[in-house]
Structure formats: C-alpha cells, structure tokens
Homo-oligomer: A and B are copies of this chain.
Amino acid sequence: MQNNKTNPWKQLSSKIVYKNDWFSVREDQVEKPGNRTGIYGVLDTPPSVFIVAISDRNEIYLTGLFRYPTGKYGLEIPAGSSDNQDLLIAAQRELLEETGLKASRWEKIGQFTPLNGIASETSHVFLARDLEETGSELDPDEGILELRKVPFDQVFELVKSGEINDGQSIAALSLAEHYLK
C-alpha cells in the first residue's frame, strides 16, 4: 500500500495540550510537504469498533440516539471505543450492550480512518452473524432510544433519507455491502 512513496510529514516535537477520559489532543511541531515547518494538532483516541449484525433473514440492527457533539438524532450500527481491549472482545461487548445480541460467527471485514485530517483513530469493522437475542437489558448510559431491525437491502434508503447520518456507520455498511456481494 505504501508502495515506493515517501511520507513527507515528519514529527519534530510533540506536546499534549488537552486530555480527558476519552481522548487527548497533541500539538506537534512538524515538517510539512515542501519542507516547510509548522504545527499540527492531532486528536488521539483508542481504536473503535463497528459491528454490522445481520440476521438469518438478512436484517441488520440499528440503534437510534442523539449525539451531543452534533446535536442530531440518527440511526447507527452498534459501535464504540475498543478502550484498548482486544478488538473482537470489544466488538462483542458493544454489540451486547447496545442491542442485547450475541453472535457466534464473527468476521473482521475491513477498517478505515474516520477523520484522517485531524484524528489518528482507526475504526475496525466486524460482521456478526448467527445472532441470538439474549433479552439482556441495554446499558442505560448509552442513551439508546430505539432499536430497529431493517432489511439489509433497504438500509441505504435510510442513508439517502438522512435517517442514518453517521459517516462511520455509512462506511462500515458500504464495506459490508461489497463484502457480501
């Protein structure tokens, strides 16, 4: 992937300028393309996990919630921070917490970087099949107001209509769509 190209960016120094329990921000002195120097602010988080959970009837599970940073309501696939756990274990935890589902068939189908101009984060995408509804209570701290089961071939209608407006969910669903083709 890196083929024969040389990364023109070089880190000269780095200092953390903000930190909370979920992310930190560092301001680096960098060498930029064209050998100029300057600063670059980077948002650091642990890797995240996104789960496309598909039933035997080709339905996928969506959660509905408000996001504080955007102020918007939307449908999303189950997801969360890995909290630096093993990625598969994190994906299994998030799926159970957000939908009450357990899956006995898991595949890692891809990964992407969600905001690569600012964030170092990588989002890992899992396909979860052979699902079992455990009936366990959803974690109330997640703020999930709705759980929806939608035929996979209709999910991009929800993207078109804007009901799914979460870019990470859209990217993960696209990976699943082409993986399953």
Contact = CB atoms under 8 A, between A and B. Distances in A.
B143 A69 contact: no
Interface stretch (A55-63, A93-101, A106-114, A128-136): A106-114
A116 B8 contact: no
Contact of A175 (B33, B42, B170): B170
Number of copies: 2
A43 B66 contact: no
A123 B2 CA distance: 27
A105 interface: no
Interface of A: 1-3, 5, 7-9, 17-18, 20, 22-23, 25, 27-28, 30, 32-34, 36, 39-43, 45, 64, 66-74, 110-123, 140-143, 145-146, 156, 159-160, 162-163, 165-168, 170-171, 173-175, 177-179
